[in-house]
C-alpha cells in the first residue's frame, strides 16, 4: 500500500467513525470466503456497513479525533479486523448472534462502541443483543404513559355503565 493509499483509507475510516456513533470490531480470521460473503449479505440486508481494514489504519483514524472515548478500543486492534458500522446500537450484535446459530463461535466480537460506552470482549455479545434501540424505548414510554389513561377511561366507562344499569332497573 502506498502512503497515498494509506492516507485515503484513513480518511475513509475517519468519515465512517464520524458518521456512526455505533461500531463493532470483530475478528473474521477463521471464516471461509463463503461465510464472509454470507456475513456481508446479512449486514447489507440490515443496513449495517462492514469494512475490513488494517489495525494500524483504524488506530490512526481513531487517534486523529483526540477523543478519550476510543481509549478502550485500541487493545482490541490485533489480528484480522472487520468493522461493522450501524445507526442501530444492537443490529450488529443481532447479526453476529444469528450468524453463530449456524454453528460455531465466529466471528468473534473484539469490542464495540455504543455512543460513548465501550464493550470489550466476546462475552459482551449477549448484553449487546439486549440493548434497547431508541424506537423501542420510545414505544415503551408511550405504552407506560397510555396505560394509566386507559385504566382511568375503563374505570369511568364501567362506572357510567353501572349507573345506567341501576337507572334502567329502577
Q: What are the pLDDT digits (tens) for 19-32?
A: 999 999 999 988 99
Specify the CATH architecture of the domain 3-131: 2-Layer Sandwich (3.30)
Q: Is the pLDDT at 143 greater than 80, yes or no?
A: no
**Given pLDDT bands bounded at 50, 70 and 90, which one contains residue 135?**
confident
Q: Is the pLDDT at 106 greater than 60, yes or no?
A: yes
Q: Which residue has the cell 502512503?
A: 3
Q: Is the distance from CB of 74 to CB of 62 less than 8 angstroms?
A: yes
pLDDT, average across residues 138-147: 77
Q: Is the distance from CB of 77 to CB of 59 less than 8 angstroms?
A: yes
| SS3 assignment, position 117 | strand
**Given pLDDT bands bounded at 50, 70 and 90, which one contains residue 141?**
confident
Residues shown for the chain: 170
**Given pLDDT bands bounded at 50, 70 and 90, which one contains residue 132?**
confident
Short-list 80, 86, 19, CA closest to 49:
86
**For the purposes of burial, counting CB atoms within 10 Å of the CB of 66, is it exposed (0-12), middle (13-18) or buried (19 or more)?**
exposed
| SS3 assignment, position 144 | helix
Q: Is the distance from CB of 48 to CB of 92 less than 8 angstroms?
A: yes
Q: Cα dist. 99→33, 93, 111, 123, 167 in Å?
A: 14, 10, 17, 16, 65
pLDDT, average across residues 108-130: 93
Amino acid at each position: 500500500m502506498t502512503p497515498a493509499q494509506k492516507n485515503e483509507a484513513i480518511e475513509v475510516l475517519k468519515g465512517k467513525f464520524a458518521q456512526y456513533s455505533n461500531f463493532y470490531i470483530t475478528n473474521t480470521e477463521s471464516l471461509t470466503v463463503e461465510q464472509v460473503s454470507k456475513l456481508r449479505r446479512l449486514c447489507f440486508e440490515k443496513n449495517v456497513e462492514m469494512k475490513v481494514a488494517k489495525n494500524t489504519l483504524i488506530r490512526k483514524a481513531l487517534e486523529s479525533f483526540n477523543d478519550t472515548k476510543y481509549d478502550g478500543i485500541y487493545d482490541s486492534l490485533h489480528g484480522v479486523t472487520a468493522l461493522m458500522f450501524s445507526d442501530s446500537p444492537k443490529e450488529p450484535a443481532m447479526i453476529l448472534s444469528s450468524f453463530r446459530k449456524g454453528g460455531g463461535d465466529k466471528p468473534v466480537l473484539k469490542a464495540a462502541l455504543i455512543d460513548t460506552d465501550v464493550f470489550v470482549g466476546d462475552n459482551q455479545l449477549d448484553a449487546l443483543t439486549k440493548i434497547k434501540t431508541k424506537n423501542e424505548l420510545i414505544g415503551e414510554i408511550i405504552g407506560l404513559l397510555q396505560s394509566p389513561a386507559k385504566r382511568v377511561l375503563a374505570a369511568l366507562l364501567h362506572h357510567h355503565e353501572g349507573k345506567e344499569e341501576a337507572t334502567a332497573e329502577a
